[in-house]
Amino acid sequence: MSRSAPYGFLAPAMVLFTATLALPILYSLYLSLRGVQVQGLGLGPGARQEVWVGLSNYRQSLSDPAFVHSVVRVVGYGVLLVPTMLGLALLFALLLDSRRSRGGGFARTAIFLPYAVPAVIASLLWGFLYLPDVSPVTDVLHGLGLPAPQLLSSRLVLFAVANIALWGGVGFNMVVLYTSLRAIPTELYEAARLDGAGEVSIAVRIKVPIVLPSLVMTLIFSLIATVQVFAEPTTLRPLTNNISTTWTPLMAVYRDAFTRDDIYSASATSVVIAAVTLVFSFGVLRAVGRRAFAER
């Protein structure tokens, strides 16, 4: 075996990783320390000059109240979404794995189906279902003599956005968990079953602890996705007064970069978000992960 062989296998990945991920990240770091100086009214040619500004972009982004609000909001969104999504995904996976449920094939496909719908299109569809004036929910509730809920009102809009992510994400996580459930050797709980243990107690006492590592991985991936929530609120924004253009941290980045044409502040904010995500997910992996993986 030649010593260069592993590098040969890794070369394409390394080259592409460097070109499409590492370089852009380094470039972002560079941009985050830069800024623009304008000469005069800034209307003549060459009136703009890029200059070093040190850490002032970081200071500005971290002290922007809109950004701070968006961080707080996303924490609330995560607390709402992640346990619900993973709880339902685990429930459905256990039900699919249980021998007492019927129609599993149909349910599995149906629940996984939303994964095929791009977030932009999913949000458009749900947007129609949320607006009382065009929603079938309104028609049904009016038929029952009930008032239609204002799902995009300031009180409920967080739930409305989380619901879209839930809808799109339950299926994927269910499949991940179901895959690990299927890999459990049946002997492990056949004995318990013969002892008269019910499906529920087998699920809680035997199955869940075994799939815990998978659950931790889905948790980490869900947390990363939570920090990056962007497409759903951006698509819903034009429908309501209650989603601002800096509703989530990534929306704030988008506003700076694309609306305000300030890639320098946007880069600084991005670096902060990426760093926090990194620390956060490695922290979770250490805290929860070690225990979960050690049990095996």
Partner 1 sequence: MGSNGGTGPTVATVTNSAKGYLVRRSTRLCLAVLLTALTLLAAGCGGGSADGPVKLTFWTWAPNMDKVVAVWNEKHPDIQVTVNKQDGGDPAVTKLLTAVKAGKGAPDIMQAEYQKIPTLVSAGALADISKDVPTSATGQFGTAELRAVDLGSKALYAVPQDTGPLAFFYRADVFQRLGIAVPTTWQQYAAAARQIHQADPTMYLGTFSANDAGWFAGLAQQAGASWWATKGQTWSVDIDSAATRKVADFWGGLVQEGVIDNKPMYTPAWNAALNDGKQVGWVSAVWAPGVLEGNAAKTKGLWQMAPLPQWGSTFTDGAWGGSATGVTTQSQHPEQAAQFATWLNTDPAALKALVSDAGIYPAAKSAQLTTPPAFFSNQSDFYEVAAKGRDAISPFTYGPNVNAAYNAYNDAFGQAADAKTQSAFGQALTQMQSTTLSNLKSSGFTTSQ
Partner 2 sequence: MSAATSGARTVRTRDSRPSVLATALLMLGAVYCLVPVAWVLVAATKSGADLFSTFTFAPGTHLFANIADLSAYRGGLFWRWMLNTVLYAGVGAALSTLVSAMAGFGLAKYEFLGKSTFFNLILAGVLVPGVILAIPQYLLVARVGMADTYWSVLLPSIISPYGIYLARIYATASVPDELVEAARADGASEARLFVLVALPIMRSGLVTVFLFQFVGIWNNFMLPYIMLGSDRLFPVTVGLNGLLNQGATQPALYTLVITGALLSILPLVALFLLLQRFWQVDLAAGAVKA
Region 126-185 residues binding partner 1, contact defined as CB under 8 A: 127-128, 131-134, 153-154, 179-180, 182-185
Task: Report 215-244 residues binding partner 1 (CB under 8 A).
Answer: 238-244
Of 193 and 277, CB closest to partner 1 = 193
Candidates 97-105, 165-173, 216-224, 258-266; binding stretch for partner 1 (CB under 8 A): 258-266
Burial class from Cβ neighbours inside 10 Å (0-12, 13-18, 19+) for residue 199 reads middle
Copy the structure tokens of residue 78: 């995560």
In the numeric block, which tokens belong to residue 261? 């044409």
Nearer to partner 2, 60 or 173 (CB): 173
The correct pick among 10, 17, 30, 260 for binding partner 1 (CB under 8 A) is 260
Smaller CB separation from partner 1, 62 or 239? 239
Interacting residue with partner 1 among 1, 5, 13, 43 (CB under 8 A): 43
Give the sign of the dihedral formed by CA 254, CA 258, CA 259, CA 264.
Answer: positive
Instruction: Assess 41 for contact with partner 1 (CB under 8 A).
Output: yes
221 binds partner 2 (CB under 8 A): yes
The count of chain residues that interact with partner 2, using the rule CB under 8 A, is 107
Q: What are residue 34's phi and psi, to 5 degrees?
A: -110, 165
Options 36-44, 54-62, 71-79, 110-118: segment touching partner 2 (CB under 8 A): 110-118
* 252 near partner 2, rule: CB under 8 A: no
Is 66 near partner 1 (CB under 8 A)? yes
Contacted entry of partner 2, partner 1, none for residue 226, CB cut-off 5 to 8 Å set by kind? none
* 35 vs 171, beta carbon nearer partner 2: 171
* Half-sphere exposure (Cβ direction) of 282: Cα atoms closer than 13 Å: 5
According to the binding rule CB under 8 A, does residue 186 interact with partner 2? yes
Indicate whether 263 belongs to the interface with partner 1 (CB under 8 A).
Answer: yes
Residue 277 contact, options partner 1, partner 2, none, Cβ 5-8 Å cut-off depending on partner type:
partner 2
CB-nearer residue toward partner 1: 116 or 276: 116
> Angle at Cα 102 formed by Cα 99 and Cα 108, nearest 5°?
95
Least gap, CB of 286 to partner 2 (angstroms): 13
Candidate residues 84, 230, 237, 242; the one interacting with partner 2 per rule CB under 8 A:
230
Nearer residue to partner 1 within complex by CB, 7 or 27: 27
> Distance (Å, rounded) from C-alpha 287 to C-alpha 280?
10
- Report the distance separating Cα 110 and Cα 25, nearest Å: 38
Contact footprint for partner 1 (CB under 8 A): 35-38, 40-43, 45-48, 60, 66, 127-128, 131-134, 153-154, 179-180, 182-185, 213, 238-246, 255, 258-263, 265
